[in-house]
Amino acid sequence: MRNAIFKSVTTRLLATVAAFCVSANAFALSNGRMAPVAEDIRPQETPLMQAFEGVTQTRPGLSLEGDKRQQDAENAAPTAEDKSAPKSDGTDANSAQAGPAAAAADQPSAEIIRDLSALPAPVKAMRERLVEAAASGDIERLRPLIEGTPKPPQIMNNESDDPIDTLKNFSGDAEGQEILAIMLDLLATGAARVDAGTPDEAYVWPYFIGKPLSELTAPERVELLRIVTAGDLMGMEETGNYNFYRLGISPDGQWKFMAGGD
């Protein structure tokens, strides 16, 4: 009986000691190693994180906020190369530096008529008469077209009393056949309708006078080079305008002018 009681007491004592040890260990863990572990799982500024943050501040594309601030600063600060910044006199740098070529490009384009059958009947008839006279090789064939109208055309600024003599003076030969050949080349192209709806309205050959040279297609440049030389074209491109001979007919079919280069 006493042995049984002794074993029972011993067992309870061992159980109490074991429970105390477990509690002590738990207390030690909670006050020792467990607390730091709980703190380690919270975000901290580690050297690796600091290094990554430094990279995002210096590499474009990683820091959106940094790029936005930089872009805003660049947009707000004008640079010396910003040619669109307004000048103090109310103009902008582009218009101040563009020169004649840009000024010509700003002008509204004339109506270009490539299909000559679409010309008004009076204009078409006068063009055909001019072609026939020029193709004859006899410059005197132009005289009835000049003198037989209510308002004679202006021929080369009317530099002489006789318009036929004026045309001969601009020709490279004494008979004026070179100027006749030039007239045929002009009239072989399309026409430009200029000053539409005004007293100065006219159908002008060649059509290049109504189109910036920078906008010409390759076939159009070849067409132009049938009238002028490559050297002439280079000079025209400096100003952006066609400036060789041109011929105009009014809407009512009157020969309006034959003019030289500007």
Q: What are the tens digits of pLDDT across the range 157-172? A: 887 889 999 999 999 9
- Which residues are within 8 A (CB) of 50 and not within 5 positions of it... i.e. 6 or more apart? none
54 assigned to some structural domain: no
95 assigned to some structural domain: no
Question: Which of residues 56 and 205 earns the better pLDDT score?
Answer: 205
31 assigned to some structural domain: no
Q: Cα–Cα–Cα angle for 198, 202, 203, nearest 5°?
A: 145
194 assigned to some structural domain: yes
154 assigned to some structural domain: yes
Instruction: Provide the token pair at 134.
Output: 């020029």
pLDDT of residue 260: 84
46 assigned to some structural domain: no
pTM for the model:
0.59
State yes or no: pLDDT of 99 exceeds 70: no
Q: What are the tens digits of pLDDT across the range 188-197? A: 999 999 999 9
Nearest to 152 by CA among 245, 247, 255: 255
Average pLDDT over residues 141-160: 90
Q: Which residues form the domain of 193? A: 111-259
Q: Are 103 and 212 in contact (CB under 8 A)?
A: no
Specify the number of domains making up the chain: 1
| 3-state class (DSSP) for residue 126 | helix
| Cα of 48 vs its chain's centroid, Å | 49
33 assigned to some structural domain: no
Question: Which of residues 55 and 260 earns the better pLDDT score?
Answer: 260
pLDDT of residue 160: 80
